[in-house]
Structure 1
Amino acid sequence: MNSPPLSTIDHPIIRHIANMANQAALRDTASYDTGLRKFRVFCDVFSIPESDRLPASFELLHSFALWAATDPEPSDPLLSAVGSSASFEPVSVGVVRKYLSAVRAWHIAQGWPPSLSSSDYERIKWSLRGLENLQAGRRKPLRPPISIAMLTVIKAALILSDPFDACVWAMASCSFFGMMRFSEVSVTSRSAFNPSKHLTRAHAFFGHDLRNTPYARLDLPSAKTARAGETQSIFLTEQGDLCPLAALRNLAMVVPALADDPLFSWRDSRGEIRPMVKVRALERINSMLVAGGWGTSFGHSFRMGGASFYLAQKVDPEIIRIAGRWKSLAYETYIRAFEQISSQHLANAISS
């Protein structure tokens, strides 16, 4: 690997402080690992030598951005011919920008200057705008929110005495009623679990509010919308047969664990505690939704489903905003959620 230029004086104390600062600066970058992983996939696909990956040139990063955002048109003879070898897995332009930010952070953390100038960014943005225009008519429809009916089917199909299924159910119930991102209840890989970033058993609290009503509080040590070092809390209340409090208690009984172990974890055949990997949980959930005729869903559908449910119950949107930890009223979020319950408010108005 190429050696970066010095960015501090060559003294062990200063180097130590700089290293600590680097690690702390990366601590709250949720998309850092994903962006770098995608960049490495791109470099492997196109056989980019290691020496050309760090520092990365404008030409390389421009190419990476184009590849990451391209959704090949089947009628394009060249792209359809090389599609499998080029391993296209298109993401949105907004996500590509996050990937580029991750590569930029990687350069800085490794001691290199930022990888792109402002004029470089403008050129890449121009290309991405063109791809958006080309692919505008081929966008996949937004995934629908998880509904109470879907949540009921998921619970009924799971074996709650099984460690894996008990964990999946706790994740589904808490994500829905707590309006949580699925990435907040899961990890990208077993080795990715970090107690300073992910929920542990010690981050879950049970109590009673001023009305003596039971509730649970999950304290997220790191969140997408939180500042560095800021804890965000999710509040869960009793919800009948689909209750997240009962799901958490069942998980604690079926999968006993230590305080520093992952909150959403299961035990394998050897008795080892394992954090739940996002793709594994969604595979299990999607298999049940497909069997029920709903197709597949993404993790964010639980967060959206919870907002839809509370809107249907006429909960104040401001309460939903606070409970869901949205920074604003999230207009587009509520419009999508309102679609699911519009008839409750608007249907048959003429008859009255």
Structure 2
Amino acid sequence: MPGPIRTHNAKNSGNHFSPMLSTSSMRKIQTALSGSWAPSTMQGYRLAIQKYHQFCDRENISKPLRTPASELVLCAFAADNVGKLSAAVAHNQLAAIKAWHVANNWTWHGSDRLTQILRGVKNLAPITAHHEARQPIPLHAIELLNSRLDKSNRIDAAILACAYTAFWGQCRLRELLPSSSKIPTPGTLPLCTSLRLSTRNKSAWVLHLPRTRTNSSGQDVVLVRQRSSLDPISAIQQHLLINRVPHGSPLFAYYSDSGHVSMLSKKTFLERCNKVWTEAKYPRYTGHCFRIGGTTELLLAKVPPDVVKTMGRWSSDAFLKYWRSIEDIVPLHAKNVRTHRK
């Protein structure tokens, strides 16, 4: 996070006799603060803070007046692109500025007026700023992968296993695959050893994700048996049987034609899946479509919503946001409700 990390701020703290801490203690504070944000979040925050400085330069706001940012400066920064960008962009930029203030122990001057300005930015956002909601991958698109991919081919076997895991496990693709074919940072992706048979129910397998978007300590995904052609457990077993990669390898690694262990990347995975779909006149899908596709299919299968929510590790607001097929799901749960009126 740009800017010095401080144990207090003389301008804001009521304690005028704060101790002078050792370099070691200050370094530990820096380490702990840096670890509280995901690397991808930090990268986005740095860009937002850079934009904030560019805004201040343009408005001739001197550096001493930039931090802590006054309520007026925050409002002006939030409204800077009104009518041009979406409210999500303004919210994300302000989240970065707030995190920067928190990291440096600066007072945050958010206000009701700032909230109203953000509401106005949302209402006045151009149509072009609104992203079309990503659609869930339907079950028949997953079935198409099963029929078109070559299960005896090493990379196709890995791709099918990953597709089933992302779909039925309601996983974000970044939780399963690296962004490139380079060896991923240790502790960021599940390994072959991350998958185990449940000790409580022999029909379920548990996949430990070492790091997720919402939990840096990791979370468990429960995979259960599905009908044979769409069973994630069988697909993973088939992949591991064909590839036989070392136990310490990422779960969806495979042997290339040259005989080397290769990383299945998100790019390679999506290119192969979308090649199958576009050849069959299906639309192209993104990685997140697997997660919301699995959620939708489980709801359509009448799995109780609270169970689906727990399985997918959803927060309540996000869970409702991605109910893409609400017109199909509601009748399954609310049709012909028994009333108790006399």
User: TM-score, structure 1 length as denominator?
Assistant: 0.68
- Between the aligned residues of both structures, percent identity stands at 25
Q: Distance in 1 between matches of 2:323 and 2:194?
A: 33
Displacement, 1:285?
2.1
The secondary structure found in structure 1 opposite 2:316 is coil
**Which residue is 2:157 aligned to?**
166
> Of residues 101, 108, 123 in structure 2, which corresponds to 1:133?
123
Change (3 A) 1:134 1:6: closer
Q: Do the aligned partners of 2:155 and 2:255 also contact (CA within 8 Å) in 1?
A: yes
> Of residues 235, 246, 252 in structure 1, which corresponds to 2:222?
235
**Which residue is 1:85 aligned to?**
none
Q: Distance in 2 between matches of 1:250 and 1:207?
A: 19
- Let me know the Cα RMSD of the aligned residues: 4.4
Change (3 A) 1:69 1:198: farther
Q: Distance in 2 between matches of 1:276 and 1:323?
A: 25
Q: Do the aligned partners of 1:290 and 1:296 also contact (CA within 8 Å) in 2?
A: yes
**Which residue is 1:94 aligned to?**
88
Q: Distance in 2 between matches of 1:257 and 1:69?
A: 53
Structure 1 runs not aligned, ≥5 long: 49-53, 72-91
User: TM-score, structure 2 length as denominator?
Assistant: 0.70
Change (3 A) 1:127 1:193: farther
Moved more, 5-14 or 180-189: 5-14
Q: How does 1:38-187 map to 2 (within 5 A)?
A: 39=48, 70=84, 93-94=87-88, 97-98=91-92, 100-102=94-96, 105=99, 117-119=108-110, 129-135=119-125, 137-138=127-128, 139-187=130-178
Structure 1 residue identity aligned to 2:87: V
Displacement, 1:177?
0.9
Q: Distance in 2 between matches of 1:320 and 1:201?
A: 25
Change (3 A) 1:314 1:60: closer
Displacement, 1:95?
5.7
Q: Distance in 2 between matches of 1:237 and 1:268?
A: 29
- Are 1:216 and 2:216 matched, yes or no? no
Displacement, 1:238?
1.7
Displacement, 1:220?
1.8
Q: Do the aligned partners of 2:101 and 2:108 also contact (CA within 8 Å) in 1?
A: no
Q: Distance in 1 between matches of 2:272 and 2:186?
A: 25
The secondary structure found in structure 2 opposite 1:25 is coil
> Of residues 274, 279, 290 in structure 2, which corresponds to 1:286?
274
**Which residue is 1:247 aligned to?**
235
Change (3 A) 1:345 1:22: closer
The secondary structure found in structure 1 opposite 2:245 is coil
The secondary structure found in structure 1 opposite 2:303 is coil
> Of residues 311, 320, 327 in structure 2, which corresponds to 1:323?
311
The secondary structure found in structure 2 opposite 1:235 is strand
Change (3 A) 1:269 1:122: farther
Displacement, 1:245?
0.6
Displacement, 1:56?
12
The secondary structure found in structure 2 opposite 1:233 is strand
Q: Do the aligned partners of 1:66 and 1:127 also contact (CA within 8 Å) in 2?
A: no
Displacement, 1:253?
2.7
Q: Which one has a bigger Cα radius of gyration?
A: 2
**Which residue is 2:264 aligned to?**
276
Q: Distance in 1 between matches of 2:320 and 2:210?
A: 27
